[in-house]
Chains A and B, each alone.
Chain A
Amino acid sequence: NAGVTQTPKFRILKIGQSMTLQCAQDMNHNYMYWYRQDPGMGLKLIYYSVGAGITDKGEVPNGYNVSRSTTEDFPLRLELAAPSQTSVYFCASSRPRGEGVETQYFGPGTRLLVL
């Protein structure tokens, strides 16, 4: 199993540009998450999904959009990049509560720089 994969690893965007951060998992997990991590800060939840077709906002959703058309994929869309979105983005997945230990499996992250 590859686990959780993310692409790209690093990207530089100009202010106002848009991009999609890709995330895929091959563990058949229903739950998937997007976090951002700023230097010296904890992980902040952007969006999460409990299954295909179901998404919900986390703590810091403004400026982002998500979709979940399949169990495997959970892309994160930035429509109008702003310098405040410079961060490291992590995607994670887990099994539903009650189906084993609630381990969140994280991807390697995407480092985004908005200039």
Chain B
Amino acid sequence: SQKIEQNSEALNIQEGKTATLTCNYTNYSPAYLQWYRQDPGRGPVFLLLIRENEKEKRKERLKVTFDTTLKQSLFHITASQPADSATYLCALSRSSGTYKYIFGTGTRLKVLA
């Protein structure tokens, strides 16, 4: 069955360092991969989308890579700040057929001052 895996353990890093979060998937061929941020008690907020024919996407301090051979996406936050502390979710969708996304369980990031 389709499966998306994100590190279930929280990731703690020091302020100023680069945080790297991983999203692995199996039994799935996504055409689109998205990353969302979710703060406690709130709905997810869209951050970045990357398509299967794109290797890398950047937005300010954020960078996403997408390796369809490894079936993996990496999400990087450079020069991390305590305000970046949140749970980060990845979501996958196919290019055709029903228009649905499947979500990973998310990784909780804590940036220590």
Docked complex Cα distance between A92 and B106 (Å): 18
Instruction: Given A31-B99, A45-B101, verify A106-B45 contact (CB < 8 Å).
Output: yes
Cβ of A105 and Cβ of B46 under 8 Å apart? yes
The number of inter-chain residue pairs (CB within 8 angstroms) is 56
A101 and B49 contact, CB distance less than 8 A = yes
Number of interface residues of B (CB under 8 A): 24
A12 in the interface (beta carbon within 8 A): no
Question: In the complex the two chains form, what is the Cα distance from A35 to B104 in whole Å?
Answer: 13
For residue B99, which residues in chain A have a CB less than 8 angstroms away from its CB?
31, 48, 50, 96-97
Report the separation of the CA atoms of residues A37 and B93 in the bound assembly, to the nearest whole angstrom.
Answer: 18
Given A41-B105, A50-B99, A97-B99, does the pair A104, B89 have CB atoms closer than 8 Å? Answer: no
Residue on B nearest A30 in the bound complex, by CB: B99
User: How many interface residues does A have (CB within 8 Å)?
Assistant: 27
* With A42-B106, A102-B93: A109-B100 Cβ-Cβ less than 8 Å: no
Q: CB of B79 within 8 A of chain A?
A: no
B25 within 8 A of A: no
Q: Are A107's CB and B43's CB within 8 A?
A: yes
Q: Is B42 an interface residue (CB 8 A)?
A: yes
- Show 6 A/B contacts (Cβ-Cβ < 8 Å), sorted by A: A40-B105, A42-B106, A43-B91, A58-B100, A104-B44, A106-B45
